[in-house]
């Protein structure tokens, strides 16, 4: 029997994620797997913002194409890179337990966000992070920064930037969590939809692969990210919009926070919803509609959605 072929991007973090799934498959079912690296549009165009590339799913489209063509059997993604619309014939067959969803600041001096010098240069390509940084510290010089984790850390080490903001889960997976100067509270910066979670994608018709991965599913994570993705879908946004969302189960209830910020941080629409874990999409859509009614649509148009 040939090995299961796992499609992934080639960055250190993406490879860790694919290896994590490969190792789990070996432990759970004894299935052998090989990793197939695939270069995506987001990897090929490293200059300018992700939004300027002009398409949703810029970090996964080529991997999904390989999956549909039968060149790989499953794909492993950072869920925050996965658009809310999945191509026909594919499905997110497993969402394992989520890691820490928060963002973190890595500064050259070890200073936290409040202690950064006035006018400090902070790099990030995320419109969401840029907007929330500017809201928390309007004096900062927030700059566009693309590249993998190593590239972003190196820009800070070299002194080109004073700090950068990264997903804390990514640093943890690469055993670099000690580099974080501050893990940012969700009160200061709501994470991206699906941040900290992985998504395993496969062909809908591939029953064998789906059955192999069934035990990798984590119910509470699926519920939380389903609610977050419903907010995103309601706002008709791609992965690059100034939207933060954080869902979780607390006391048996699904709690969901979400916000939309003006790109310059001058305005924010933020709200919370609570409801049954059995209806995460309904809760997410309702919160999305509430944000729109409070002016989120205007802020998204200003940000160039």
| DSSP code at position 264 | T
Same-domain check for residues 65 and 107: no
Q: 66: number of CA atoms within 13 Å, CB side? A: 22
Catalytic residue among 73, 81, 103, 257: 81
Q: What backbone phi and psi angles, to 5 degrees, belong to 220?
A: -65, -35
Looking at per-residue pLDDT, the higher value among 58 and 247 belongs to 247
Assign 279 to helix, strand or coil. Answer: coil
pLDDT at 244 over 60: yes
How far is residue 285's CA from residue 43's CA, in Å, rounded to a whole number?
32
Give the count of domains, the chain.
3
How wide is the angle at C-alpha 153 spanned by C-alphas 239 and 237, nearest 5°?
5
User: Which class for 165: exposed (0-12), middle (13-18), buried (19 or more C-beta within 10 A)?
Assistant: buried
In this prediction the pTM is 0.92
Separation between Cα atoms, residue 115 and residue 118, nearest integer Å: 9
Question: Residue 120 has what pLDDT?
Answer: 98
| Residue 56 confidence (pLDDT) | 60
Quick one: 114 and 83 in the same domain?
no
- For residues 88 and 212, state if they share a domain: yes
Domain holding 231, by residue range, is 227-302
Residue 239 scores a pLDDT above 80: no
Kindly state whether residues 266 and 134 are assigned to the same domain.
Answer: no
Instruction: Tell me the CATH number at 240.
Output: 3.30.160.40
Q: How many CB atoms lie within 10 A of CB 276?
A: 12
Same domain as 207, residue 90: yes
Query: Is 192 within the bounds of a domain?
Result: no
189, part of any domain: no
DSSP notation for 169-237: HHHHHTT-GGG-SEEPPTTT-PPPTTTT-EEEEEETT-HHHHHHHGGG--HHHHHHHHHHHHHHHHTT-
- Residue 22 belongs to domain with CATH number: 3.40.190.10
Q: Is the pLDDT of residue 44 over 70?
A: no
Reply yes or no on whether 81 is catalytic. yes
What's the confidence (pLDDT) of residue 59? 81
Instruction: Tell me what pLDDT residue 248 has.
Output: 98
Q: What is the mean pLDDT of residues 13-31?
A: 94
The answer to the question of residue 191 being in a domain is no
Whether residues 60 and 204 fall in one domain? yes
Pair (204, 85) in one structural domain = yes
User: Same structural domain for residues 61 and 207?
Assistant: yes
Q: Kindly give the interhelix angle for 280-293 and 219-234, rounded to the nearest 10 degrees.
A: 30
Residue at 59 is within a domain: yes
User: For residue 289, is it within any domain?
Assistant: yes
Domain membership flag for residue 55: yes
| 188 found inside a domain | no
What's the rounded mean pLDDT across residues 193-218? 95
Note whether 61 and 204 are same-domain residues: yes
292 assigned to some structural domain: yes
User: What is the rounded CA–CA span in Å between residue 296 and residue 268?
Assistant: 8
Claim to verify: residue 80 and residue 208 sit in the same structural domain: yes
Same domain, 56 and 205: yes
Same-domain status, 129 and 156: yes
């Amino acid at each position: 029997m040939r090995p299961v072929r796992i499609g992934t991007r080639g960055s250190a973090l993406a490879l860790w994620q694919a290896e994590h799934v490969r190792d789990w498959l070996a432990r759970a079912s004894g299935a052998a797997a090989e990793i197939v690296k695939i270069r995506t549009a987001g990897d090929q165009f490293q200059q300018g913002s992700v939004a300027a590339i002009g398409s949703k799913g810029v970090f996964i489209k080529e991997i999904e194409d390989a999956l549909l063509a039968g060149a790989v059997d499953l794909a492993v993604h950072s869920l925050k890179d996965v658009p809310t619309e999945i191509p026909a014939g594919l499905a997110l067959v497993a969402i394992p337990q989520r890691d820490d969803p928060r963002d973190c600041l890595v500064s050259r001096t070890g200073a936290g966000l409040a202690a950064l010098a006035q006018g400090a240069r902070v790099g990030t390509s995320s419109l969401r992070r840029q907007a929330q940084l500017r809201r928390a510290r309007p004096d900062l010089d927030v700059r566009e920064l693309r590249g993998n984790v190593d590239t972003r850390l190196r820009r800070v080490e070299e002194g080109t930037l004073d700090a950068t903001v990264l997903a804390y889960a990514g640093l943890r997976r690469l055993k670099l969590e000690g580099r974080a100067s501050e893990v940012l509270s969700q009160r200061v910066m709501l994470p991206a939809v699906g941040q900290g979670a992985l998504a395993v994608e496969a062909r809908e018709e591939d029953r064998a692969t789906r059955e192999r991965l069934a035990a990798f599913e984590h119910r509470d994570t699926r519920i939380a990210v389903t609610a977050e993705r419903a907010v995103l879908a309601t706002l008709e946004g791609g992965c690059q919009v100034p939207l933060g969302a954080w869902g979780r189960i607390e006391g048996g209830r699904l709690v969901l926070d979400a916000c939309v910020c003006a790109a310059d941080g001058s305005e924010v629409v933020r709200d919370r919803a609570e409801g049954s874990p059995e209806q995460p999409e309904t809760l997410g859509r309702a919160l999305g509609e509430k944000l729109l009614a409070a002016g989120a649509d205007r802020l998204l148009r200003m940000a160039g959605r």
